[in-house]
Structure 1
């Protein structure tokens, strides 16, 4: 919502019920924000609050102090759309004011805008050319991204999720049994999207196929491995990338590993401490990225390259590379037990 519009919903605490009703009719957003002279939020009023006040005997000329909802739900600036939407759903509200650290009003989230899908001009490249050797014999006659999960190929799950976030152009990098992928998805028409293909003559790694992009994308584009099943919000990692003005962004996930034994700390022969089955935490590559078109200059056409190598090349050129911490359910379907987990009723929520 534009700043000019939401600011029209702000009234001072000295307002009357009649003035609030007039404001509600003019803005048609079903909420009035009450602030002091310095712009600090003092509360909110809805048409429901007005009705309850009138039922209690208040009149149109009555002041609003007694009916202002003073403990209104608020959010800070920068909160993700998904989190705001979740808060709205959980609290059964359709508007949430945005305030800064001092409690001043800086915006207003409206359900219709938060829940709507923003059309994205950005493309998504899906790396679907891997051999899938760890998943043999499942991949002898079926490319790994086409293995069924809950009745649909993995690739279809990825495309559907990205489509629900406004992406409509997909580029599939194919090699092993790639014809099966092309036969199933075609030009994307029956899925309501447009699909193009990068046909690798030989395996080019997790980044090398990007050297085949012709023409180059006009906008930053999302890249995902075709065997990653996740609830990550592709639009949010793209927005994160743009905010940080990066050359490349990598989604990372915290991985925890518990040592199976008690660890003894020693200095020479002296025991200096103990730690019982410590937990080690590290960030791992989640296989989802956002890349600037200019970053493709670091690739050689038809030359193998993996994503970590591309990121290292960008760093050597002093280009900014950033990590997007993700917490959503995520599963890299690389082994038979991963496939079994993905196919289980809990697989996509793990």
Structure 2
């Protein structure tokens, strides 16, 4: 466990970009969430700009809904590849479907989140954690979906159904060792959060980073992100 050494080159980045984006309404009917323009550029461009600034040079984008729209997409300084699911597989199914393309250790990002996490600090924390997975946790969110303590994610509650004790929010950036996927993976559609986070509660390392966190999952949040990018 803790198979990544902080002295190694930066790992592969994997971006989950296959969601339907139903909460965005008409905005995502013809455009995948990750390609919705915000601040004059697609969301994916903002994500990859931060990825590149942190020294990462390889990214795999997992697409689905309107995946053909990603054709020809490039980002300077990033060796970019795409893998499209033919039917909706959920977050876990998308990763399992692309398992042959994943490196032994990778950074997992969500294609509708922008969190300017210090990757070097995250990887350093992972290397010293003794865990197969390290999740970035933020307290800078208007709701919480997890409980962390003693350096571990103790409980994950996506819907906040049992809010007592929740004190952090998953910030959309994790270090994953491929052994996690190999152990939990299955064919068909399934949720990475619902399966892996639940079964590994207590053994996922928690890395706190309170840098501004932006989720463009709703029109209101998209406006907030637009404002943030304009003010940078």
* Dislocated runs of 4+, deviation >4 Å: 347-350
- The two structures have a TM-score, normalised by structure 1, of 0.53
Could you tell me whether the CA contact under 8 Å between 1:120 and 1:168 is conserved in 2?
A: no
Query: What is aligned with 2:67?
Result: 178
Query: What is aligned with 1:152?
Result: 41
Give the C-alpha shift of residue 217 in structure 1: 3.7
2:127 to 239, 242, 256: 242
Equivalences for residues 41-120 of structure 1 within 5 A: 120=9
Query: What is aligned with 2:186?
Result: 300
For the pair shown, the structure with the greater C-alpha radius of gyration is 1
Q: Secondary structure at the match of 2:100?
A: coil
Give the C-alpha shift of residue 308 in structure 1: 4.2
Could you tell me whether the CA contact under 8 Å between 1:119 and 1:166 is conserved in 2?
A: no
Equivalences for residues 191-270 of structure 1 within 5 A: 191-215=76-100, 217-254=102-139, 255=141
2:208 to 325, 330, 333: 325
- The two structures have a TM-score, normalised by structure 2, of 0.78
Give the C-alpha shift of residue 119 in structure 1: 7.8
Q: Secondary structure at the match of 1:136?
A: helix
Q: Secondary structure at the match of 1:156?
A: helix
Give the C-alpha shift of residue 161 in structure 1: 0.8
Q: After superposition, what is the alpha-carbon deviation per residue over 1:118-177, rounded to whole angstroms, capped at 9, x for unaligned?
A: 983410100111111111111111111111121111101111111111111101010111
Q: CA RMSD in A?
A: 2.5
Query: What is aligned with 1:41?
Result: none
Give the C-alpha shift of residue 281 in structure 1: 6.7
List runs of 5+ in structure 2 lacking aligned partners: 1-6, 144-164
Q: After superposition, what is the alpha-carbon deviation per residue over 1:275-318, rounded to whole angstroms, capped at 9, x for unaligned?
A: xxxxx972122222111011111111343223242123345xxx
Could you tell me whether the CA contact under 8 Å between 2:88 and 2:189 is conserved in 1?
A: no
Could you tell me whether the CA contact under 8 Å between 1:247 and 1:314 is conserved in 2?
A: no
1:312 and 2:198 are equivalent in the alignment: yes
Distance 1:217 1:245 in 2: 21
For CA contacts below 8 A with separation 6 or more, give which structure has more relative contact order: 2
Distance 1:326 1:343 in 2: 22
> How many residue pairs get matched?
203
